[in-house]
Amino acid sequence: LSEPSTVLAFNLGNGAVPGEQVKKDENSRRGNWGNQIEFVLTSVGYAVGLGNVWRFPYLCYRNGGGAFMFPYFIMLVFCGIPLFFLELSFGQFTSLGCLGVWKVSPMFKGVGYGMMVVSTYIGIYYNVVICIAFYYFFMSMTNLLPWTYCNNPWNTPDCTGVIGTPRTNATFANVSAVVSGLTEIVNRTKRTSPSEEYWRNYVLNVSDGIGNFGEVRLPILGCLAVSWVVVFLCLIRGVKSSGKVVYFTATFPYVVLTILFIRGITLEGAVSGIKYYLTPQWEKILDAKVWGDAASQIFYSLGCAWGGLITMASYNKFHNNCFRDSIIISVTNCGTSVYAGFVIFSILGFMANHLGVDVSEVADHGPGLAFVAYPEALTLLPISPLWSLLFFFMLILLGLGTQFCLLETLVTAVVDEIGTDWIIKNKTYVTLGVAIVGFLLGVPLTTQAGIYWLLLMDNYAASFSLVVVSCIMCICIMYVYGHKNYFKDVEMMLGFPPPLFFRICWRYVSPFIITFILIFTVIQYKPITYNDYVYPRWSLVIGFAMALSSVICIPIYALFKIAVSEGSTFLERLKNSVKPDPDWGPALQEHRKGRYATAGPESVEVCPLKEKLKDEGKEKLKEKETEKKDEMGLTIPGSNGSTLNPTPSA
């Protein structure tokens, strides 16, 4: 009780120190994460998505099983983690979203608009996938999964179930029919399962082509509304609310994965599935396609160039160790992919054993794995509705974790760009507006032609455009702004310069790998198909237009910025357009040291001057009140009737 701070802490009952509020945001105007765990969990939820469950396992067994792990982890070390660290440090240094950060070189602000376009496309169709998972989740709340048998109105004569048809009075003839049915499955080159027909004929009721929209599938539309409402409610207070939600959405999928893994490895035939998943085919190491797939998977899986990493990091405190975070999140993401592969292939191995076929004949990728192959395998398990509920609940949570960040990326970009006090205070309305627009744009994807458009957007809108955006970002930061300047910025923020390995990767290795991915993507290009359906040429033109719509933002804005910049000649305007803005740098004046000490105008202060003066006045009043409380608290009667006053009287 001899220290005034202790007395004040005792009086306040919260352990605070004088003049400081508990858990006060560093950036009071914009806000920060509640704590660093929330940021890490949100970033893990963003990076770990549906692709970890349905894309990685498929790529792994298609490209040499365990041999694919070698190029995969090499690409993680030399491209994935460096790019992840670059984007986190970029957003954290300026405390701005994917548009505001380009004060570093205003001519390149089109890169930020390109990120917004990509996030918009992905956000639209990603929530449609989530809503279908919601639909399957609701339909699993039954004693018998509806895709178990072929005796439904939506089934065709070609449908053949893996466990026959339910009958009340089984006879020897019935058993013979079931055996002959299973024999027919084995002998067929292509079988139509009840889960496939449920997906195609009932859930989607797919039309005959991308141009035939047909009717809106009302159950899917309803689930889409539910999905957007859930996303909005979780983001209603920005990172303050989403940071609390991710404690569940980012961790519970691992609980479900573990439950499914334990169940999967106890099934007959699971070992054969895992062996198929991991057995290395070392001859494929020399195949350029394997390296291209590994690089692409790392690049897309981590969510680079979507703008989400920059946005999430912008809510960090200035001196947060984002270097440590980037390694933790990247390794967790890739570890989840490998772990999910064990879960998926243990179940597929069981299914292959049950049917008497090879694992390659039951394995699939993309939506086909999540909504056809895996649901069919679930029907073979005891208490199948329970496992179905768990699986689709996991898909929902994996999807929502990514969707939170996609929506927050768009909202933050709009709020930072306008930047007025009103829009900052009413950010909830911006979130609501973006959610409503996203829902309306997603309605066409709930029609009978929706699956065609969804796959078109997935293959074109978020393909090579991401690679181009990421490559230009590296060039801008390392060569236009200058690598030495950026290394100093990182050192000022973290207290230590970027490790030598990352400096080399940022300048040389990562851009080289990104260029390799771009060239490989162009060489490997094949027109998109859906089962036996070949997309018409006009739809492919639309796909390329979507892909170019994000890239075209970069040269258009660059030309605009050059045109409006000061200067009498083109070279002068070009030079001025790439110069950092006067207020480029840390958002808070207290962090603007060294070359930033006098670089920024007064507008970089978090609060206007009047508000600052008010705050100073309040602080003085608080100090006076604190002194009075200290004097009262420090005069405490002792047990012998004396007073415990540490200051002796004269």
Tell whether 405 is covered by a domain: yes
Q: How confident is the model at residue 313 (pLDDT cuts 50, 70, 90)?
A: very high
pLDDT of residue 517: 83
Residue 336 pLDDT level (bands cut at 50, 70, 90)? very high
48 is in an annotated binding site: yes
C-alpha span between 620 and 601 (Å, rounded): 26
Average pLDDT, the chain: 83
pLDDT in tens, 438-484: 999 999 999 999 999 999 998 888 777 888 899 999 999 999 999 99
Pick the closest to residue 27 from 547, 360, 412 (CA basis): 412
Q: Is residue 627 part of a domain?
A: no
Give the pLDDT mean for 355-383: 81
- For residue 622, what pLDDT is reported? 57
% of the chain at pLDDT higher than 70: 83
Instruction: With respect to residue 582, please indicate whether it lies within any of the assigned structural domains.
Output: no
Instruction: Give me the mean pLDDT over the 615-633 stretch.
Output: 53
Question: Residue 397 — very low, low, confident or very high, per pLDDT cuts 50/70/90?
Answer: very high
Rounded alpha-carbon distances, angstroms, from residue 8 to 388, 585, 649: 56, 36, 23
Domain annotation covers residue 458: yes
pLDDT in tens, 20-63: 444 567 877 788 898 889 999 999 999 898 888 888 888 887 78
Cα–Cα separations (whole angstroms), residue 155 to 149, 180, 192, 197: 9, 19, 10, 6
What distance in Å separates the CA atoms of residue 162 and residue 370, rounded to the nearest whole number?
Answer: 18
Are 56 and 301 spatial neighbours (Cβ–Cβ below 8 Å)? yes
Please indicate if the annotation marks 45 as binding a ligand: yes
User: Is residue 161 very low, low, confident or very high in pLDDT (cuts 50, 70, 90)?
Assistant: confident
Q: What's the confidence (pLDDT) of residue 259?
A: 92
Instruction: Work out the average pLDDT over 195-215.
Output: 93
Asked if residue 252 has pLDDT above 80, the reply is yes
| Residue 11 in this model has a pLDDT that exceeds 50 | no
pLDDT surpassing 90 at residue 82:
yes
**Of the segments 280-284, 313-317, 417-421, which one has the largest average pLDDT value?**
313-317
Work out the average pLDDT over 493-504.
Answer: 95
Do residues 624 and 605 touch, judged by C-beta distance below 8 A? no
Among 62-76, 307-321, 351-365, name the one with the lowest average pLDDT: 351-365
**Choice between 487 and 239, residue whose per-residue pLDDT is larger:** 487
Task: Find the range with the poorest average confidence among 39-48, 152-161, 550-559.
Answer: 152-161
Looking at per-residue confidence, does 626 or 344 come out higher?
Answer: 344
Q: Tell me, yes or no, whether 557 lies in a domain.
A: yes
Q: For residue 497, what pLDDT is reported?
A: 94
Q: Is the pLDDT of residue 17 over 60?
A: no
Between residues 172 and 135, which one has the greater pLDDT?
135
Q: Tell me what percent of the residues of the chain surpass a pLDDT of 90.
A: 52
| CATH code of 271's domain | 1.20.1740
Tell me the two tokens of residue 531: 């089962």
User: Checking DSSP bridges between strand 533-534 and strand 529-530, what pairing results, if any?
Assistant: antiparallel
Judge whether 610 lies within some domain.
no
Distances (CA, A) of 521 to 63, 355, 364, 641: 16, 36, 22, 86
**Mean of pLDDT values over 105-122:** 94
Is the pLDDT reported for residue 509 higher than 60? yes
Q: Determine whether the annotation assigns residue 143 to a binding site.
A: no
| Mean pLDDT, range 351-359, rounded to an integer | 83
The two counts, helices (H) then strands (E), for the chain are 30, 2
Q: Are 297 and 371 in contact (CB under 8 A)?
A: no
**Which residues lie below 8 Å from residue 627, measured CB to CB, with a gap of 6+?**
none
Domain span at residue 525 reads: 36-155+190-564
Residue 40: its pLDDT value, please?
Answer: 93
Higher per-residue pLDDT: 66 or 537: 537
Residues constituting the chain = 650
Place of tokens 């605070």: 16
pLDDT at 640: 37
Whether pLDDT at 556 is above 60: yes
Task: Flag whether the pTM goes above 0.85.
Answer: no
d(C-alpha 245, C-alpha 253), whole Å: 13
Q: Say how many domains are in the chain.
A: 1
Residue pair 280/66 in contact by the 8 Å Cβ criterion: yes
Distance between CA atoms of residues 373 and 136, nearest Å: 14
pLDDT at 613: 45
Instruction: Identify the top-confidence range among 164-168, 238-242, 611-615, 633-637.
Output: 238-242
Contacting residues for 629 by C-beta, under 8 A, at least 6 apart: 7, 8, 11
pLDDT for 617: 56
User: Please, what is the end-to-end C-alpha distance for the chain in angstroms?
Assistant: 22
The answer as to whether 539 is a domain residue is: yes
pLDDT of residue 559 exceeding 50, the answer is: yes
What pLDDT score does 62 carry? 79
Is 265 within a domain?
A: yes
Q: Which two tokens stand for residue 17?
A: 């120190």
**In 206-287, alpha helices (H):** 218-234, 239-249, 252-265, 270-278
Task: Give pLDDT tens digits for 413-446.
Answer: 999 888 788 888 889 999 999 999 999 999 999 9
- Structure confidence by residue, pLDDT tens digits, 298-310: 888 888 889 999 9
- With a cut of 70, say whether residue 619 has pLDDT above it: no
pLDDT band at 598; cut points 50, 70, 90: low
Query: In angstroms, rounded to a whole number, what is the distance separating the alpha carbons of residues 422 and 442?
Result: 29
Q: Are 315 and 33 in contact (CB under 8 A)?
A: yes
pLDDT for 174: 38
Instruction: Give yes or no for residue 561 having a pLDDT over 90.
Output: yes
DSSP letter, residue 536: P
